[in-house]
Structure formats: C-alpha cells, structure tokens
Chains A and B, each alone.
Chain A
Amino acid sequence: MNILAIDTSNRPMSVALYHNEIPLIEHTLNSKRNHSVQLMPAIEYLMKEVNLQPKDLSKIVVANGPGSYTGLRIGVTTAKTLAWSLNIPLVTVSSLELVAANLIYSNGLVCSFFDARRGNVFTGLYRAQEGQLAVQLPDQNIAMDEWLNQLNELGEPITMVSPTEHSFHDLVSEKLGDRAKWIRGHLSFPQAGQLVLLGKDREPVDIHSTSPNYHRLVEAEVKWMEKNGRNE
C-alpha cells in the first residue's frame, strides 16, 4: 500500500510517501513561499524519485486543520481532488495532533498550538503513552490566557510544542511555571511521515464533503449573528 501524506496547515509544508509503514521519501520545507506554487511540484518530485505513478497510490492522508485557512485549503483541495480522481480512500488527521505526534514516544501531556493572533491560539491537549496519542482536551480556538488556566488546573507536567512563531513563552512560564517544558528545533515542526502513521488505519472520510476544520466562524457571519440574533 503506497500512502501519500500532505500537511500545509501553517508555514511549514511537509509531504511524505510511505510503503505501508516504511518511509520511501519525505520532504519538509519551512519558507515564506507559497504552498499553492510549491505543493504540486513537490508531490510530482517525490513520486518521480521513488518511481511511482499517480495510479500506484492507494491512500491519501491530509492534515485538515486547524491552521492557516488558505494553507489548509491548498492541502485539503489537493488531497481530496487526488483521492477522488484516483478513486482511493482519503483520511484526515488534526494538524495539532500531527505536531503533538512528534512526542508520541514520550510519556505524559503534550500541548501543541498555533498562534492565531491577538492573544489567541489554535490548540489541543494530547496524552502520549506507549506509542499512542489520546485526545485529552479537544482542538479549539481560545485565548491563550484562558487555555493556560485550564492546563494549570490539571497539575501535571506538560510539553509545549508549536511550529509557528509566537510570543507566549513568558505567559506559559507565568501560568505553568516549571511544569511546562518546551520542545524546540525540528521536533516542533510537522513531519508528514507521522501523518502516515497516525492516519493509515483510520476510517476514510467522505471525499466530496471534506473540508478543513477551521475551528472558527467567518467574521462576517459572527457579526451578522450578533446583529440578527442566533436563530435565523
């Protein structure tokens, strides 16, 4: 089974090709260039390098949010169009779970987060144990301040991991003190290989209706609802 995995949720872009659980090739870049320009040529390059044709693919796994709206749509559009047109299953995995999975062989709580500006984050809390990752607190869009209060109440050590630039180090120290430990360097970046391992045995999604998990409504809709009442 040849599996292609794609993550374009934030500034890093990661693409991997696996044969079952064996990595064939993986490509991760972290540049300011556009995923829309880079993704398809990257997939084409990887396939060529390992001598695979599109029809040789048997499954697609994509990170479907949260993250940058545009980034997510580039990855998810590519993944769903590929899966649909090749008539192969599509699996989606949380973009936060993907980053947390870098610590899948540790023991304890892992908080992955992406800066969502104005003091907010997209974040989730996972528990790593014996090579498995379980959701502890679901992915959400929340003020970092409020989130850290929730984490503090758990009273457990937490490993913090984020691939996006942010300025939350001081706030985390203030709220969690020594209980917070940071992961820096390459393990704080998404690796599409992890995406394969997380997603390969999961239930496929309905391809047509698949779209990113934005975890946030469109601003115009929020304003409209405030003005007109929630029940339209």
Chain B
Amino acid sequence: MDQEKILAIETSCDETAAAVVEGGTTLLSNVVATQMEIHQKFGGVVPELASRHHIEQITLVIEKALNEAKVTMDEIDAIAVTEGPGLVGALLIGVNAAKTLAFAHQKPLIGVHHIAGHIYANRLEQEFQFPLLSLVVSGGHTELILMKEHGDYEIIGETRDDAAGEAYDKVAKALDLPYPGGPVIDQLAHEGEETYDFPRSWLEKDSFDFSFSGLKTAVVNQIHQLKQKNEPISKANIAASFQASVVDVLVEKTYQAAQQYGVKQLIVAGGVSANRALRRSIQERFEGTNIAVSIPPLYLCTDNAAMIGAAASIQYRNNQYASLNLNAQPGLMIER
C-alpha cells in the first residue's frame, strides 16, 4: 500500500509555510516564506504585521508546496495544520486555509500541536526509539518532553520564566545587537572567550525546570557596570559567557533527565537547536552513553510545515481528525 501524503500548513509565528510529507518520514516539498526582515526593524515579531503578510503568502506557498512535490490535491490524503500554540491572528490564516482545502476537496483535516511538530521534524531524518527525551528550545519554549510512544507527550521540565530564545533576544537587545538574538550571539560567542562567571540556575535538586531571568538580569547588570566604569565592553566575551551559562544548564539538565528516565534517544528540537555551541556540547556530554542523539538539520529546526506533516502522520494513522469548526488555539497544551 502506498504511504499517505499529507499537505501541511504552518503559520503560528512569522513564517508562512507549507509542505507535502509522505508516510510521516519522507519530505516531498518544504516551502517557507520568512518574514524575518519585515519584523527585524521592530526588534521582534509584530503580530498584526505577521497576520497581514501570512494572508498575502498563503495560497502562493501552498501552490508551491504542491508543485515542488509534483502532486495534485487529488493525490493528497489529508490536510494538516498547526492549531496552536502561537499568535492567534497568525494561526487563524493557516487554520482557515486548511479548513477550506479540506472542505473543497473532501479530505480529512488534522490539527497539530506546534511543539509536536518540532519533535517530529526529527522523524524526517531518523526513526524514533522509545522511550525518548526531547529538549525543545525556541523563542517561546524551553521544555523537556518525555515520549513513551507515538503521540504521547509528558512534560518533565519547563521554564519558569523566560524561554531560552527569549533570553537570547533580551541579551542581544542589551548589547545593541539586532533581532533575532540567537544567531548573532552564537556567532559572537564563537569569537569571544568566557570571561564572566554568570550564574547557572539549577533550581531544586531533582527539578528539571529551567529559569533564565536571573541570568538575563546578571548580564544586563554587568553591561551596566562596565558602562558606568567606562570600561570597554567586549560584546564577544559577554556573548560567550552568557551562552556558556545557558548551554551548561540546558545540557546538564537534559543529561540528568535522560539518565533518570532511561531513554534510548535524545532529540533536540526548536529554533535554538540551530545553536552551534548547544549542538557541540550535547554531542560531547552524551558521547559514550548508549543514548542516540539526534538533532535535525538547520532547515528543520526553525519553523516549517514539514514537521507539522510528520507529526500529523501519527494522527492520520490513529484517525484523529478535526472537524470544520477547528479553531486557532494560541495557548494549546501538548499534554492530553
């Protein structure tokens, strides 16, 4: 039997994306129209602007995804879409486009959780081995999620304040660096040295939760002190020191959780998994263990629709369909 082909749509933040995925593991097309440059001058994503750009791109991106996959709507078995979490106005464009396609071509509709998508991006590269642990790090998320089987998610740790990506953006702003902060700080850190001993927030002994607001404050205070003393500020050294602290905590907590839950596989997912220091550090820490580490290639780390199609494949096989009254759910939870 042929594997199912899913047309997936993702518009939860500032990327308008559509993709065709076969059998949950094979990428037939993956089209992303990014709005990064549009939001850059505002120092962050402007929700109304994001929605306005999504609506201008949506049918173009879907058409391109079908063309690149060389399939017609008739050959598509289901339509999948990110239903949440995300910016409500942005999500609405994808959700309404997906519902319309499902109706127009009488196809099943599947609502997908954005974070499930980030995790399943890995399945386009490598089959899952359960139990698995996923470290999800992005502008809006820092979570450790345990999976015992497909479609089953348990959050065993999460941030109590800022997400890791958010901390990057705030530190970048304090250093007068452009938005988004992640790639710029990663690059600068590469050129600098860890000269400041910024705090590592471990929280309670057995907790796998994270906290980055104290670190962010320490960095901002350090910059402030240097300015007051009229001392030169090495952005590279501050970036290197800040990044070392973030990566230390992320990697160590992930390692401890992986050991405690006896997982067979570790997946690093979300936009921040593009970070080179994090990738290197994770690989080093897990070397010699029998835990398989998988980090998707960069183009699958950042928001895309292929990951939504991959996650939707599991729901398709379990007949977990949505009806035409599907709505955008900006605060959708991953645990059922």
Interface residues, chain A, CB within 8 Å of chain B? 34, 36-41, 43-44, 54, 69-70, 73-74, 76-78, 80-82, 84-86, 207-209, 211-212, 214, 218-221, 224
Contacts and interface: CB of A to CB of B under 8 A. Distances in A.
A86 B72 CA distance: 12
A41 B325 contact: yes
A89 B48 CA distance: 28
Contacts of A77: 55, 58, 92-93, 96-97, 100
Contacts of A41: 323-325
B89 interface: yes
B63 interface: yes
Contacts of B334: none
B55 A69 contact: no
A21 B209 CA distance: 63
A85 B106 CA distance: 12
B92 A70 contact: yes
Name the prevailing secondary structure of the B interface residues.
Answer: helix
Contact of A208 (B51, B52, B59, B99): B59
Nearest to A216: B48
Given A69-B89, A73-B89, A36 B327 contact: yes
A74 B96 contact: yes
B56 A34 contact: no
Nearest to B50: A218
A154 B288 CA distance: 85
Interface in B313-336: 323-328
A38 B42 CA distance: 34
A13 B5 CA distance: 34
Given A40-B324, A77-B58, A85 B104 contact: yes
Contact of A40 (B62, B92, B105, B325): B325
Contacts, number: 100
Given A36-B95, A78-B100, A85-B105, A224 B42 contact: yes
A224 B56 contact: no
A37 B92 CA distance: 10
Nearest to A223: B42
Contacts of B104: 54, 81-82, 85-86
Given A77-B93, A85-B104, A211-B55, 8 more contacts: A37-B326, A37-B327, A40-B103, A73-B96, A78-B97, A81-B96, A82-B100, A218-B46
The CB with the most chain A CB atoms within 10 A, among B41, B49, B52, B323, is that of B52
Contacts of B58: 77, 80-81
Given A77-B92, A220-B46, A208 B60 contact: yes
A73 B96 CA distance: 9
Interface string B101-114: 10111100000000
A73 B92 contact: yes
Interface string B199-235: 0000000000000000000000000000000000000
Contacts of A40: 96, 99-100, 103, 324-325
Nearest to A73: B55
A74 B89 CA distance: 9
B35 to A, nearest CB: 12
A219 B327 CA distance: 26
B291 interface: no
14 contacts: A37-B325, A39-B96, A40-B99, A40-B324, A41-B323, A41-B324, A54-B103, A69-B51, A77-B97, A81-B58, A208-B60, A211-B55, A218-B46, A220-B48
B73 interface: yes
Interface string B21-57: 0000000000000000000011000101101100110
A76 B92 CA distance: 11
A162 B295 CA distance: 56
A151 B228 CA distance: 60
Nearest to A228: B41
Contacts of A73: 51, 55, 89, 92-93, 96
Contacts of B324: 40-41, 44
Interface in B176-216: none
User: 8 shortest A-B CB distances, which residue pairs?
Assistant: A81-B100, A40-B324, A77-B96, A84-B59, A220-B46, A81-B97, A40-B99, A54-B104
A77 B63 CA distance: 14
A221 to B, nearest CB: 7
Contact of A38 (B51, B59, B325): B325
Contacts of B325: 37-38, 40-41
Nearest to A53: B106
Contact of B101 (A43, A85, A212, A224): A85
Contacts of B96: 36, 39-40, 73-74, 77-78, 81
A95 to B, nearest CB: 16
Contact of B103 (A43, A69, A70): A43
A209 B56 CA distance: 5
Contacts of B89: 69-70, 73
